[in-house]
Amino acid sequence: MSSDSSSYGQVRHDWTRQQVLDLFALPFNDLLFTAQMVHRQHFDANRVQVSTLCSIKTGACPEDCSYCPQSARYDTGLEREKLMKVEAVLEEARAAKASGATRFCMGAAWRSPKKKDMPYVTRMVKEVKALGMETCMTLGMLSDDQAKDLADAGLDYYNHNLDTSPEYYGDIITTRTYEDRLNTLANVRAAGMKVCAGGIIGLGEEEKDRAGLLMQLANLPDHPESVPINMLVKVAGTPLENNDDLDPFEFIRCIAVARIMMPKSHVRLSAGRESMNDEMQSLAFLAGANSIFYGEKLLTTGNPEANKDMQLFARLGIQPEEYQQYEDETAVEAELQSQIAEQQTNPFFYDAAKA
């Protein structure tokens, strides 16, 4: 084990690249064992948060993200769609809630929202919140005023991924900078919203870039509350359509390292699940993933059918995490401590802090 193992399970913001690379270099079994110990310190190991993602505006994005079928620069056969009507979004949200989702995420293929769009998206947030669901949006870059408007509407989470390391970023995207992405995350935080930020594995990056991505996320002033780890979905017509397949064990390593570095964050097993068999998904949960997108479609790419997810959950003894609304932070802390205390009575609980 690494000499830094005494800090595993603690929230840190001072990771060095070598420390992260040392985690990646651990024997696979040691890495998963460590990640599972850390996971059990902060979460119920048999609960997974379930979200549904709805594309509220599809295609015609001016950005040149090399992996994305929604870019107007690539011919992927994607049919462009205008911003959905509010009531149509609410129908999707009601169906998601009925299927067991507790968080409803709304994504629009924009560089950033235009002024004329803001009244519609803020109304969507208010109406979905009224259904008793957590809300998340991904709309591209946000100014500080736009972030404040979304926060005032009650938006819980804003998703804005860093995608990869700063060093490799320019090989994937040229139409916005890494600093642009960090500025949006800062605006989201300043407005009081929670952050959903992660990246994509399988872009052609090296292990040092995966380490660089996770180091950027973990060294933010506050860890993202949700960290989606996506596996590249190779879409015909995009520049990355012929990328080599990613070694599944390398993907699981990323899940485990993310769990160790950001122990209190939900680590989301995100895009790419359609190509993962049950055994690979189970390894991801063992490595510390405790959030999924649920439903037939992730924006514009496939996702395992909802009933298949629930069948896997049943086989693994996993339950969907419940969404609870609290009036104040004291109640949140009390519930968290209760959950941790309950976990410690579990015969399989291992306190890594005392290891």
What are the backbone angles phi and psi of residue 82, rounded to the nearest 5°?
Answer: -75, 170
Helix (H) or strand (E) holding 320: strand 319-320
The angle subtended at Cα 173 by Cα 71 and Cα 118, nearest 5°, is 55
Given 54, 65, 103, 253, which residue is catalytic?
Answer: 65
Is residue 209 a contact partner of residue 164, using CB atoms and an 8 Å limit? yes
Given 40, 54, 68, 273, which residue is catalytic?
Answer: 68
Given 40, 103, 259, 268, which residue is catalytic?
Answer: 268
Given 54, 176, 196, 273, which residue is catalytic?
Answer: 196
**Residue 254 falls in the annotated catalytic set:** no
Retrieve residue 185's tokens. 């995350």
Retrieve residue 213's tokens. 């991505």
- The CA–CA distances, whole Å, from 293 to 83, 105, 122, 320 equal 21, 9, 22, 12
Buried b (16+ CB within 10 A) or exposed e, 35-56: bbbbbbbbbbbbebbbbbbbbb
**Residue 54 falls in the annotated catalytic set:** no
Binding-site entries for [2Fe-2S] cluster: 105, 136, 196, 268
Binding-site entries: 61, 65, 68, 105, 136, 196, 268
- The CA–CA distances, whole Å, from 132 to 57, 117, 127, 135, 246 equal 23, 24, 9, 9, 38
Binding-site entries for [4Fe-4S] cluster: 61, 65, 68
Given 40, 136, 254, 273, which residue is catalytic?
Answer: 136
Given 40, 54, 103, 105, which residue is catalytic?
Answer: 105
Residues identified as active-site: 61, 65, 68, 105, 136, 196, 268
